[in-house]
């Protein structure tokens, strides 16, 4: 097996490139890896990762769910819609979908441009309960992660010895994601860290036996490290291994 835990915490490759090539090969065998990601932009599904092997720790911007502002915890009725790519999401948010010339500033991001307040009445209501409002299916500050998802990750880690943990493109300081490398570690586990600061003295001092660290752009280093598995890149972005 290539690895039991494939821990990718930020998107470091474009869709249909490294991820697609690697997953094409992984799909031919039992699911010996799991991808834990903090990204909310759905790059991993678009890169071909099997959905059952991806855990979107912070949710997805393209999921829409119900929020009830009248409830103390904000929990809605449970309605959720996946893969909503409407742009703009609703007429009140049309300013966020504007295009401008490359040398100009988007009005939404211009500090000198006063934004109009959006009335709550113009935010789409939940189609299921009609009481709650629709909101992005992401984890906002002070919100808890999905408990069932965390339980599933813990169970996966405990079911067998993890051979390799790949920590890619992140400093691994945001919990609980930052704790999974240590949680998955056993006597023979290799933790491979790839980020811009991986080889700083203070980070190298944290390495344990069997660990590796590679400093640099993960989008450049990762294809080189995985070349024995995925092969060399073709012009169309796929891999020939």
**Which residues are catalytic, by number?**
58
66 is in an annotated binding site: yes
Task: Report how far residue 165's alpha carbon sits from residue 184's, in angstroms, rounded to the nearest whole number.
Answer: 8
77 is in an annotated binding site: yes
Block residue for tokens 């890149």 = 233
- E strand spans, the chain: 35-37, 54-56, 59-67, 75-81, 133-138, 164-168, 190-195, 212-215
CA angle, corner 170, sides to 210 and 228, nearest 5?
A: 50
Q: In terms of Cα–Cα distance, which of 44, 39, 55 is closest to 22?
A: 44
Q: In terms of Cα–Cα distance, which of 22, 18, 42 is closest to 33?
A: 22
129 is in an annotated binding site: yes
240 is in an annotated binding site: no
Task: Report how far residue 94's alpha carbon sits from residue 118's, in angstroms, rounded to the nearest whole number.
Answer: 11
Please name the residues in contact with 178: beta carbons below 8 A apart, sequence gap of 6 or more: 172
Q: Which residues are annotated as a binding site?
A: 66, 77, 126, 129
Q: Which residues are annotated as a binding site for Zn(2+)?
A: 66, 77, 126, 129
């Amino acid at each position: 097996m290539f690895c039991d835990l494939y821990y990718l915490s930020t998107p470091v490759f474009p869709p249909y490139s490294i991820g697609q090539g690697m997953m094409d090969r992984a799909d031919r065998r039992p699911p010996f890896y799991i991808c834990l990601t903090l990204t909310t932009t759905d790059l991993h599904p678009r890169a071909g990762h099997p959905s059952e092997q991806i855990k979107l720790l912070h949710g997805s911007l393209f999921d829409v769910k119900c929020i009830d502002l009248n409830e103390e915890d904000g929990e809605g009725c449970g309605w959720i819609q996946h893969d909503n790519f409407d742009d703009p999401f609703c007429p009140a948010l049309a300013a966020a979908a504007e295009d401008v010339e490359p040398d100009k500033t988007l009005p939404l991001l211009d500090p000198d441009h006063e934004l109009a307040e959006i009335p709550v009445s113009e935010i789409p209501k939940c189609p299921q309960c009609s009481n709650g409002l629709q909101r992005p299916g992401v984890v906002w500050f002070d919100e808890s992660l999905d408990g069932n998802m965390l339980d599933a990750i813990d169970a996966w880690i405990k079911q067998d010895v993890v051979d390799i943990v790949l920590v890619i493109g992140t400093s691994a300081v945001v919990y609980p994601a930052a704790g999974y490398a240590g949680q998955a570690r056993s006597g023979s586990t290799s933790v491979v860290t790839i980020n811009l600061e991986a080889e700083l003295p203070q980070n190298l001092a944290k390495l344990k036996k069997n660990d590796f660290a590679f400093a640099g752009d993960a989008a450049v280093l990762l294809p080189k490290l995985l070349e024995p598995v995925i092969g060399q890149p073709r012009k169309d972005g796929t891999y020939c291994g």
